[in-house]
Amino acid sequence: MPFSGFDDRVAAVRGTIAEAVRRGGHGQAVRLIAVTKTHGADAVEAAWLAGIRDVGENKVREALDKQPAVTGAATAMRWHLIGHLQRNKVKFLDRFALFHALDSARLADAVHEFGERRGVAVDALLQVNVAGEETKGGFGPSEIGKEAERLRALAGVRLVGVMTMAPFDAGEATLRRVFGGARAAREMLVLAGHPARELSMGMSSDFAVAVEEGATMVRVGTILFGARGT
């Protein structure tokens, strides 16, 4: 059977999340997003049967190919685009409930224009690069205040929170600095007038610390489905 023991792994992750919420003291509800990249429609269906209602994909093309292959009740799954989006592909945001990687002013403008054309604002998260990694996109801490003010005038995009990624193999001190920085960025959005309630941060290797620091969404794949492409 595909993904043998999947229900048990989901239960373990949910237990870890609940314990981390208690330790962190933020009292937040946490949404588990199952990252199904490189896996087939059967991964989406397994997630649904295990009680998960949100899945994440990094690439638009993979998601568009996978969505029609999903069958049964899992067709009601909420899809999240969690990876970088090229400006010429913003039209595909119609296929996603939430866009996690609003990582530049130019992309924000393109998303706004798309939202204006369709008559419904795009729900998005501002990607912040707290650690200043050159290989990752997103706004640096010093840029967030200015961009938050600018985005208030863009009615086609609705900033509902912040997304970040910690450096690979970061130690606990770095994880807490990055995740705490994202929490501070969210507060800057709130002060600028955005309905920013969400904090999307934490993956298979670091989601417990992310939840302790206030994450409201964790993006977990490997710990649920196994190594990519296997």
Q: What does the pLDDT look like over 150-167, one tens digit per residue?
A: 999 999 999 999 999 999
Name the band, by pLDDT with cuts 50, 70 and 90, for residue 135.
confident
One-letter identity of residue 101 = A
Q: What does the pLDDT average to over 113-141?
A: 94
Task: Give yes or no for a contact between 185 and 162, defined as CB atoms under 8 angstroms apart.
Answer: yes
Q: What does the pLDDT average to over 19-45?
A: 97
Nearest CA to 218 out of 139, 137, 163 is that of: 163
139 pairs with which residues across the strands?
128
What pLDDT is recorded for position 2? 73
Mean pLDDT over the full length of the chain: 96
Q: What does the pLDDT average to over 67-95?
A: 97
pLDDT above 80: residue 228: no
Q: What does the pLDDT average to over 85-98?
A: 98
Alpha carbons 54 and 78: distance in angstroms, whole number: 5
Please tell me the pTM assigned to this model: 0.95
